[in-house]
Amino acid sequence: MLTYRLRNTVSVHETDEQVILTLSYPLKAICIHLRWRRLFKRFSHHEMVSFETIRSISEIKNPDELEFFLNNLVRKGFLQREGVSPLSDYPFVSVIIPVRNRPDDIAACLQSLKELTYPDDELEIIVVDDASTDHTLDIASRFEVRLIPLRQHKQAAYCRNIAARRARGELLAFLDSDCLADSVWLRELVAAFKDQTLCAVGGVVESYFNENGLDRYEKVRSSLNVSSRFRRSTENDPFFYLPACNLLIRRDTFLKVNGFREELFVGEDVDFCWRMRERGYHFEYRTQGRVFHKHRNKLTSFCLRRFEYGTSEPLLNRLHPKKKKQMVCPPLALVFWAGLMLSLVLNYLPLLGISGAAIIADGVKKRLHIRKKGLPIKTSWLLLSVLRSYAAFSYHICSFVSRYYLFLSLIILPIAPAAATVILILHLTAGTVDYVTTKPQLNPISFLFYFTLEQLSYQLGVWWGCFKTRCFRPVNPIVAGKISV
């Protein structure tokens, strides 16, 4: 059953002209027409409300239109959604799985697809064997699938493309051979295509293993973990993408974008999504449609994979020169941290007045803007949002240094120990914040150990790629006072 509820951090205010929803963290508000008054009175108890109940008290009787409205509020962070959207019509889906030398994995993957709660007559499964040298092809042939055996090793992008061209489905569902699908995987994600403006959708990728420390680290830090909320390509994030291991897309859109770039062996899904966006196609991530990924759970393969991911970043920057990484440095945030650091270094507390002045100036600026809009936001929420924005700014600085420059601390330690120490402090700060926010089932030391390995592996891959492509934009962002689109 599909249900919605107001998030605990959202409050509802009603005026003579509109209903105002206010989210305390991150601080934002949205104004809604008065015709939704009854609905948000029902939501004000912060309890789950069934979609059928919502329909009964809504003026919008078209269920799809109503669901689009509610999902938009989910994406903006005001509502929480649970359950499966009802489907009256099931489109034909072609599940596409590339595989090479993974007999056990493909068997487990195909077995999971036998448990799907999706009509068999509206489903086909295509397995592309990428010239396996073992008995992978024999294992796959034991299942009711369409097999496309390749004589030469071509990589996953080629496999997906050839299957897409031969597929009969209106929708293509890409799945990796080292993934297992949840029984409602397709039903949950296919429902998203009731929105005709949506061309592709991705779902949750969870860690399959949970045996050792690295497994528990991957559970919270996997690069395949896109978000904890609904996200759409229309948001202000030019680098947003959907992993190809759990991706559904309209077949006609896939062919119009010319599929995956076959010369890319890693990052082809990033490139594909960016090309989709450049052509005006919308795609979305949903916190549903779960698949379970058998990640690299040995340290050597874990580090090698992160290195490979890193090498793709400069190449992707070369292919998409208009996408420029920004380091946003708000002036008042800089003043705040400068005052705080100076007071600590010089041991002179009156310098904290500089930081206080920055908070007041920022708060007054935001208060004037809010008053002009007529929004009912508490002063305490406002000041707290200012402090959070300063904390977020410092975290992003720490994360950037940790992500791309940690290796420098090892190189310069003998000649510049003070500078190396600063880099290490920034790295440990980023890791500690990630530990607190992700809440892994690990002790802090173990988490920071894996975090350090990941950062070093990734950034070495990035720098290798930078020298190879002669593109240093990933490690040299544009510094700006505010986000520019």
* pLDDT digit string, tens, across residues 186-244: 999 999 999 999 999 999 999 999 889 999 999 999 989 898 889 999 888 889 999 99
At residue 485, the pLDDT reads 47
| Signed CA dihedral, 383, 387, 392, 393: sign only | positive
Which structural domains are found in the chain, ordered by start?
Answer: 3-82 (3.90.930.60), 93-297 (3.90.550.10), 327-480 (no CATH)
**Is the CB of residue 464 less than 8 Å from the CB of residue 311?**
yes
Q: How far is CA 2 from CA 10, 52, 188, 238, 284, in A?
A: 20, 8, 11, 31, 19
Looking at the chain, the whole-number percentage of residues with pLDDT higher than 70 is 99
176: CB partners within 8 A, 6+ apart? 97, 98, 109, 156, 244, 245, 293
User: In the prediction, which pLDDT does 137 show?
Assistant: 97
Rounded Cα distance, 193 and 338, in Å? 49
Q: What is the dihedral of CA 99, 100, 105, 109, to 10 degrees?
A: 10
Other C-beta atoms closer than 10 Å to the C-beta of 403 total 18
Q: For residues 160, 165, 166 and 171, what is the CA-based torsion angle, rounded to 10 degrees?
A: 80
| Per-residue pLDDT at 228 | 86
For 336, the token pair is 């705040």
Q: CA distances (Å), 170 to each of 17, 132, 165, 291, 384, in order? A: 44, 29, 12, 21, 48
pTM of the complete model: 0.93
What is the pLDDT of the chain when averaged over all its residues?
Answer: 94
Could you report the per-residue pLDDT of 391-438, keeping only the tens digit for each? 999 999 999 999 999 999 999 999 999 999 999 999 999 999 999 999
Q: What is the DSSP letter of 34?
A: G
Task: Tell me: pLDDT of 338 over 90.
Answer: yes
**Token pair of 380 as six digits:** 């305490």
Q: pLDDT for 1-54, tens place per residue?
A: 899 999 999 999 988 889 999 998 889 999 999 888 898 989 988 899 999 999
